[in-house]
Chains A and B, each alone.
Chain A
Amino acid sequence: NAGVTQTPKFQVLKTGQSMTLQCAQDMNHEYMSWYRQDPGMGLRLIHYSVGAGITDQGEVPNGYNVSRSTTEDFPLRLLSAAPSQTSVYFCASSYTRPGTVGSGANVLTFGAGSRLTVL
């Protein structure tokens, strides 16, 4: 089991460039999400998905797009990168909606993170 796999680990972009952060999980998790981590601000939710074909905005969605065409994959797209998007990005997944009553199925499993720098 690979768990949650994120690529790339590091990326440097120039302002205005586009790129896609890839996220794949092999645990048959229905729920997938993207967070960004900035000093002093914790983990902030960008977008999330409760299943293939279903996505919704998180707390800081501006400048990011997502799609969920399969259960396994949940890519995050930056259409026109800005310096304010310099951050560490984490993809996370869980079998069911995290925080709900039940077993460990509602716990988030995180990828290793992607460090993005926008110049």
Chain B
Amino acid sequence: QQPVQSPQAVILREGEDAVINCSSSKALYSVHWYRQKHGEAPVFLMILLKGGEQKGHDKISASFNEKKQQSSLYLTASQLSYSGTYFCGTPDTSGTYKYIFGTGTRLKVLA
């Protein structure tokens, strides 16, 4: 099953913060985060490999809680350029080579 992301959509004003969650019913080995701007292809943001790991990319950071089978993406002091759809992705852990994406979160930042 796909990881479930929440919220499904969020609207922010420039400078506000947001958190996007990714929860899986299966064990997570690693989590990737991708961003897709409107009409474009998804682009890689960051990878988290270990439980409890946190990473940062500009004012976007993420955490990965292996025990809770979830990851969160934190967008701080959001900018107009942060608008898009965010996906978490993870390799299937049931013995296949599938790579599965979450349900997606649409983020719109207003001036």
Residues of A within 8 Å of B87, CB to CB, are 42-43
Interface centre among A41, A50, A98, A112 (most CB of B within 10 A): A98
CA gap between A90 and B39 in the complex, in Å: 12
Is there an interface contact between A48 and B99, defined as CB atoms closer than 8 Å? yes
The answer to whether B7 has its CB under 8 Å from any CB of chain A is no
A35-B101, A43-B101, A101-B49 known, 15 other contacts, Cβ within 8 Å: A33-B99, A42-B87, A43-B42, A48-B97, A48-B99, A56-B97, A90-B42, A97-B91, A98-B89, A98-B91, A99-B90, A99-B99, A108-B34, A110-B42, A113-B41
A residues within 8 Å of B by Cβ? 31, 33, 35, 40-45, 48, 50, 56, 58-59, 90, 97-101, 104, 106-108, 110-113
- Selected A-B contacts with CB under 8 Å, 17 pairs: A35-B101, A40-B8, A42-B5, A48-B99, A50-B97, A56-B97, A56-B98, A90-B41, A97-B97, A98-B91, A98-B99, A99-B89, A99-B99, A100-B91, A101-B30, A108-B42, A108-B89
